[in-house]
Amino acid sequence: MSRDAILSTIRRRTKAGANAPLPDLSDLTPPFAPTEADQEAFCHMLESVGGGCIDFPVDQTPTPEILAPHFDGHTPTILRAHFAVLENGACWIAHTPEDDRTRYTLPTHIAILLPRTALVPTMHHAYARIRELGIDDFGLFLSGSSKTADIEQALVLGAQGAMVTKVVWV
């Protein structure tokens, strides 16, 4: 395909897309009470991107040693999420001054502690929630295991982050 044909296609599609109606985002704060079905849907989404969920007893404190059997004997790094997004399985983790930022990307096994009621339905709601929390420091959405593939389609887990990431319901 020639350069002119490619640019013509981009211009045509961009012009058509500019007239598409935008979603109504005027009310992103309706109460959302996640159900057990929402939690199951979140876990299914997380599993589809290489992560997993652990149903942890409410009367126990999750420690790396207690969680190790869920990570094939590896001791996971424990992170706390403020909330997670139902539509894509991503957990919002805000940086705290006492944490080293390498904790989010260098460990090979990560356990994310997430309260059962801390789900939001969409990314639009997630960004509204971040504003609501007043978090203006570094933070990230973390979901599933790090994956990359080369031109020969050889899939590698953990190349840019954790090989295993699981959400622990607390």
Query: What pLDDT, on a 0 to 100 scale, did the predictor assign at position 17?
Result: 56
Is 16 part of a structural domain of the chain? no
Q: Which uninterrupted H or E stretch holds 141? A: strand 139-142
Rg (CA), the chain: 19
Is residue 142 assigned to a domain? Answer: yes
What is the residue range of 87's domain?
Answer: 34-169
**Domain containing residue 102: CATH number:** 3.40.50.10420
Residue 19 lies in a domain: no
Q: Which residues contact 119 (CB under 8 A, 6 or more apart)?
A: 32, 34, 38, 39, 42, 83, 84, 85, 86
Query: Of residues 92 and 159, which shows the higher confidence score?
Result: 92
Domain count, the chain: 1
14 in any annotated domain:
no
pLDDT tens per residue across span 53-70: 999 888 889 999 999 999
For residue 2, being part of any structural domain is answered with no
Would the pTM of this model clear 0.85, i.e. be above it? no
- The per-residue pLDDT for 42 is 93
pLDDT band at 105 (very low <50, low <70, confident <90, very high): confident
- Please give the residue that has the higher pLDDT: either 58 or 5: 5
pLDDT of 15: 64
pLDDT of residue 83: 95
Is the pLDDT reported for residue 27 higher than 90?
Answer: no
84, pLDDT greater than 70: yes
pLDDT digits (tens, 9 = 90+) for 67-80: 999 999 999 999 99
Note whether residue 110 is domain-resident. Answer: yes
Mean pLDDT, rounded, of the chain: 85
What 3-state class would DSSP assign to 155?
strand
Rounded Cα distance, 119 and 82, in Å: 9
